[in-house]
Amino acid sequence: MIRVTRTYRFSASHRLHTPARSAAENRELYGKCNNPFGHGHNYEVAVSVRGPLDPRTARAVDIAALDRLVRQQVLEPFEHRNLNTEVAAFGAAVPTSENLGREIVRRLAQNWSAAFPENGPVLEKVSIAETARNTFEVSAHEDE
């Protein structure tokens, strides 16, 4: 098995806020990230896949197919968006980087079979860096 990790970037804004909590609780829980006007990040997303080498191409993943899938399911829907108001998945979930990573995994996994053959590469994990100090890793497998 070969593991391939491909990195992508997009910019988006969000506000960490839970409507079920008071303004004071939200400020205490999320600090400066609870700014009513939101704030932005230049996210770096690393998508890791694993698979056997294709004897015909000597590659574990078709990079162009992966790029298309990530562009359609991640970059286009999230680029320069307010995650709270412009991405339906965050209508009910706080757009933390943990939840953003989970949503990216969900979108990729849901559309994986349309992009890759049955015996092709498998989505392994998504890592998302929101700052130089904060990186979040989400396994594509429920049991990990």
Cβ pair 65, 121 in contact under 8 A: no
- Annotated catalytic residue: which of 33, 44, 98, 137? 33
Q: How many CB atoms lie within 10 A of CB 109?
A: 15
- Give the three-class secondary structure for 43: strand
118/19 Cα distance (integer angstroms):
42
- Look up 33 and say whether it is catalytic: yes
- Look up 80 and say whether it is catalytic: yes
- Annotated catalytic residue: which of 17, 103, 124, 130? 130
- Annotated catalytic residue: which of 28, 39, 76, 80? 80
Cβ pair 108, 73 in contact under 8 A: yes
| Residues designated as active site | 33, 80, 130
